[in-house]
Homo-oligomer: A and B are copies of this chain.
């Protein structure tokens, strides 16, 4: 039996939380991990809140990987704990998007690879997420999005940036640049997970009441390793036929609050050839 090639996986936010738990799992499974974090001690020390930091991170990962990656887990994120709202927008949306786009060629190099974006249960349960902020992100208008984020506050900036990056990923995933290049791009949406982010938030009494009021039918927060199990699966075998998927792993929070909202039937759209073809077989 030939020795298996050691896969090379880049992880942003690898110093703590779900990123660190994912790193530990992938290393136990024999992968070579290139960690990127604003905290020191990982392979690449970079601040993804600025375009310059993102360029540096991409260049450093390309150098260390030799220009070919088997997977990328974009787990770096800020929020829920009093972080600066503009930085939340920059890291959670532009930091993820720019690293993905910057490493796309490396992900395409081996002909089959996986990329994973971390969204959040916040996108399904935070009410009235500001559409202007989501749109500014999706249009790539970082300075405008930062201003809107500051105006909305860091909680809204968190929910909107996590919704925008989920939408960006689902749009990109099905295009020739991504699935056409053999890259399975998917979204993992963790529920409340026992990481430093909620731990800092829980030090605030009002925030603790908010989190305490959230229904989590399973009765506890997730362990980081439970989310990392999903990241490892989606970066590996689970990515075989998954493309553009949005996977909420939340202890039942989403089903409890939004269970009737998805899946919903689509409406027949006579003007849409795809629907007509798919349902009647008629030619356009």
For A170, what are the chain B residues with a Cβ–Cβ distance below 8 Å? 255, 259
| Bound Cα distance from A23 to B247, whole angstroms | 24
A213-B254 contact, Cβ under 8 Å, with A127-B267, A163-B263, A238-B230: no
- Shortest Cβ gap from A181 to chain B (Å): 12
What 1/0 mask marks residues of chain A from 118 to 134 whose CB sits below 8 Å from any chain B CB?
Answer: 01000111111100000
For A277, what are the chain B residues with a Cβ–Cβ distance below 8 Å? 209-210, 213-214
- Shortest Cβ gap from A117 to chain B (Å): 12
- Whether a CB of chain B sits under 8 angstroms from the CB of A2 is no
Please tell me if the beta carbons of A263 and B189 are within 8 angstroms of each other in the complex: yes
Please tell me if the beta carbons of B246 and A218 are within 8 angstroms of each other in the complex: no
From the candidates B247, B266, B269, name the one contacting A247 in the complex (CB within 8 A): B247
- Whether a CB of chain B sits under 8 angstroms from the CB of A41 is no
From the candidates B251, B269, B281, name the one contacting A207 in the complex (CB within 8 A): B281
For A271, what are the chain B residues with a Cβ–Cβ distance below 8 Å? none
- Whether a CB of chain B sits under 8 angstroms from the CB of A151 is no
- Whether a CB of chain B sits under 8 angstroms from the CB of A249 is yes
Q: Which residue of chain B lies nearest to A128 when distances are taken between CB atoms in the complex?
A: B268
- Shortest Cβ gap from A191 to chain B (Å): 7
From the candidates B129, B179, B237, B263, name the one contacting A218 in the complex (CB within 8 A): B179
| Chain A contact residues, majority secondary structure | mixed
- Shortest Cβ gap from A68 to chain B (Å): 21
For A240, what are the chain B residues with a Cβ–Cβ distance below 8 Å? 222-223, 226, 229
- Shortest Cβ gap from A220 to chain B (Å): 9
Please tell me if the beta carbons of A222 and B249 are within 8 angstroms of each other in the complex: no
- Whether a CB of chain B sits under 8 angstroms from the CB of A66 is no
Closest 8 pairs (CB-CB, A-B)? A244-B255, A213-B277, A243-B252, A127-B268, A129-B265, A209-B281, A174-B217, A226-B240
Between-chain CB contacts (< 8 Å), 24 pairs:
A127-B269, A174-B217, A174-B252, A179-B218, A179-B219, A180-B217, A207-B281, A213-B278, A215-B274, A223-B241, A226-B240, A227-B241, A229-B237, A230-B238, A230-B242, A233-B238, A241-B251, A242-B250, A244-B255, A244-B259, A245-B254, A247-B247, A258-B266, A261-B264
